[in-house]
Every structure is written in structure tokens, then in C-alpha cells.
Amino acid sequence: MRSDLLRRSALVTCALLLGGCFHLTAGDKTRKEFKPPRRIDPAAIAVPEGYRIDPIATGLTYPTGVTFDDQGTPYVIEAGYSYGEDFAEPRLLRINPDGGHTVVATGGHPPWTGVTFHQGAFYVAEGGTEGGGRIVRITPDGTLTPIVSGLPSLGDHHTNGPAAGPDGALYFSVGTATNAGVVGPDSANAESINWMARASEFHDIPCRDVILRGLNFTSADPRTPDPDDTVTTGAFVPFGTATTPDQVIRSRVPCSGAVFRLAPGATAPELVAWGFRNPYGLAFSPEGQLYVTENGHDERGSRPIFGAGDYLWAVEPGRWYGFPDFVGGRPVNQEWFKPSGAEHPPQFLLAKHPAPPPQPVAFFGVHSSSNGVDFSRGGAFGHRGQAFVAQFGDQAPDTGKVMSPVGYKVVRVDVTNGVIQDFAANKDKGNGGPGSHLGTGGLERPIAVRFDADNGALYVVDFGVMTVLGEDIKPYRETGVLWRITPTGKKEGP
């Protein structure tokens, strides 16, 4: 009795102790509101002793990637689309020494999500929320040639990458159509994601045949004017289509939530690994191991999942990584992942799983949106073999509530033990957040990182300001920045 009283008292104390600071950030409206122009102040960003950060180019509209040509000149892509359903023109820009830029090429199939310079040309991942995903080749004179077309990325997540492998092949990825395998009204929101208006029959496609348990989900039907209309939808099928127990969903490659390899000269991608949700960033370690970052599930839609983090995976060819029934290597049907207000945790959608999924290399913050990744190759920058990851930052509450801002920084990962440490983050006395939230000119939403050819500098692509008010996502054009982090001499660590 006495020990029980003590145990209860300890729990109450824990709650009080841990809860005391929630109000400092949770209800702050400044993360939901922004008045241009964006301030830019490198002094507002903390980097380790022995490094400095500088803005290289400003005024970019939704930049998502950076690469370098053979002369070391940086090039940036602008996506041409942002959540919030704002469409612009995707562009490849050469960044001039004075910080200005020259347009090299423009294109379609937005959002452009990544770029790499490989064997004398630029290769761009066209995300394809319009027109489907593509991998295109752009020569330095601006001539654009599709290499792969028709990638199934019309939905929540897009075609990502590419990264050039040590075998000379290009590797890229395709995200899933949905949050958790079931098309829901969360994909028909004109203020955040509204792909259902463009591709009403689209859904997730498995890379191998799967057998369903026949779970169906009833939701509002945004296709009709009556707000009381409902509809029933199963997994791996179009919105409004029910499924049955033991129903087999046939596979098709290219598929959703997968990593692909494109051999030199080939136009048909080979499947490398599948079962990811949104494998966003791809990079090879100095030893030639492919790693991907994965954006974990949100607490939204017909199958919301609570508490799913983002992950760094070492990609093993042929493996299944868990979507839609495992989160970071853990089965989704446990209390951890039960959404607020739900009676039960999410249940499995598949009657049989291809194999036990592997475990992540690193576990990032829930809703951190851990995106672009690159590996240090040592040299003047140091930290050889460690992964640097750009964290776009949470989109709360649209993706799920948080107590404090998550992400909005660049972190460093020791892939040998999964230890994550901040590398560049905004200065403040609280839990951080975007510069516009903190009232400074610091980082907004880092989305990509890339070391230059001699590993002397880490370039950080900052997407710019994107606010979230309820389900209303509002991106701001011409607020993107290309930052550069360089060593100045004395450094911490190896």
C-alpha cells in the first residue's frame, strides 16, 4: 500500500516536472503566422566551434536540392510546388558568385525534389504530383530529356533522389500515395494536399503481391457536396473501394514506397528495396553503403498513427521495410501508436508480412521531417563517415500535435551507433523552431544538404517559410536560402 502510494506520487511528480514548460512553445501563434520579408541572419544560427555559416543565395522559391558541376559551381533546383497546393515553375539555377542566379532549365512534373551532377549532366527527380514522377537528364546547355517516366507518385509523397552510386548507376525512390496505406479525405484538402482532385483513382501499389485482412475504413466523402456523406475504403485500392479478407493485391513495378536502381543506359528501373513510407533522402557512405531517410507516419487520415518518428535506414537489396504495418521496425498494433481518442491501436492491413523488417540505423524526432542526407568524406570538414541530415521541421498540427517545435535544423548522425547530435540549429533559450517563429533570421526549413567536391563545405538548402494553421499550410515564395557551412580551423570532435 505504502509502496503503491509512493509509486503513484512519483508518477504525479514526473508529470508535473516534465509538464511544466509546455506553455512556452505549444500555444505560440508565431509559428502559424508570417509577415514578409524573411529576415536572414547567420548570427542567429548556432554551429559547433570551429565552423561558420553564411547565406550564399537568397530569394529562392521552394528550393529542394543543390549539386555542383565539375568546376565546383553550385546549382539549385526549385521545386515548382509546395504543400499548400501552390504551383510555380520548376527550375534548375546556376548560383553565381555574387549570390544571383542564372536559369539553366525549366520543366514540369513538379515538385522537383532532388538533383545530382553525374558524368557531365544534371539528373533531377521530378516528384510528379502533376503528370507522374520522372527522372530527367539535363545537359549544361539546358536540354531536358526524360530517362524514366510514369513513376507512381501522384499522391502524398513523390519521386525523390537521385543519388549516383559507386557502381555508376542512379538510385532514386518513390514515396507512398497515402499516410498509412488507405486513401482518405486528408488527401483532398485544398489548403494542404489535394491530389485526389487530380488523380481520384490513385492509390498505393505494392512491389510484391500482398494479401489483405480486408480492413475497411469509413470516412467523410469530400467528393460530394453533402458533408454528411460517408464512404468506405480499404488498403491499396482507390478511395471509395472496399476490400475483402484474403483479397490479393497484385504487385506492379515501379511501385510505391520503394528504392530503385537505374543502370547506366537503362530506362527501366530495378527494384532495390520496398516497404518504406516516404524514402526521401538518398546518399552513399564513403564505404559505398546506400542509406535513405524515411518520413514516418502522421496522425491523420483514415488510419492515423501516433508517435511514428522519422528514420535513417541502411538499404539492403531485396528487403521489405515494413509499410504499412511496421513503423521503424516495430509492429504498428501496439499501444505506442494508438492515436489520441482511439479505442485501439492501428491494426495490421496485411494478412501476412513478407518478412520481419530490419531495424533503423537512427531514430529521428517524431514529425521532424528528416529529409535530405549526405555523408562527410572527411577532409577539412571532419566527421568522416557521419551522416548529415536536413530536418524540414514539423507540420503540426496538420500531421499531428506536438508540444514543441521539432526539426528546423541540421543534425549529424554517427551511423555506427545511431547517436544524433545537432549540427546547425537556431539559437534560443527554448526548444528551437524556425527563425520566423523565434523572431530571428535563422534557419526556416532545411530540406537538403550536400558536401562540395573536396568536402570543404556543407551546403544547406533551406526551403523557406511555410506556416501551418490547422490544416491550412501556407508556403511563401522567394523566402528560400542556400546556406554554406565551412570549417574555420579549430573543430570539435574527430
Interface residues with another protein (CB under 8 A) are 2, 5-7, 9-22, 24-25, 46-49, 51, 306-307, 309, 328, 335-336, 340, 362-368, 400, 402-404, 406, 417-425, 427-432, 492-493
Residue whose CB is less far from another protein, 180 or 411:
411
Residues 494, 381: Cα–Cα separation, whole Å: 10
Residues 102, 142: Cα–Cα separation, whole Å: 11
Nearest to 375 by CA among 383, 365, 367: 383
Kindly compute the dihedral angle of the four CA atoms of residues 249, 255, 260, 266, in this order, to the nearest 10 degrees.
110
Cβ of residue 300: shortest distance to another protein, in angstroms?
14
Q: Which residues pair with 233 in a beta bridge?
A: 217
Residues 71, 87: Cα–Cα separation, whole Å: 32
Cβ of residue 488: shortest distance to another protein, in angstroms?
13
CB 139 within 8 A of CB 254: no
Residue whose CB is less far from another protein, 309 or 464:
309
Residues 377, 321: Cα–Cα separation, whole Å: 27
- Which residue's entry shows cell 544524433? 420
Q: 458-462 and 446-451: which strand pairing? A: antiparallel
Residue whose CB is less far from another protein, 5 or 226:
5
Kindly compute the dihedral angle of the four CA atoms of residues 309, 174, 345, 220, in this order, to the nearest 10 degrees.
120
Residue whose CB is less far from another protein, 119 or 334:
334
Residue whose CB is less far from another protein, 26 or 271:
26
Spell out the residues 6+ positions from residue 29 whose beta carbon is closer than 8 angstroms to its own: none
Residue whose CB is less far from another protein, 54 or 246:
54
If you count DSSP H runs as helices and E runs as strands, how many of each does the chain have, helices first? 2, 35
DSSP strands (E only) in 143-229: 144-151, 159-164, 170-174, 210-211, 217-220
Q: Give SS3 for 348.
A: coil
Residue whose CB is less far from another protein, 102 or 421:
421
Residue whose CB is less far from another protein, 4 or 228:
4
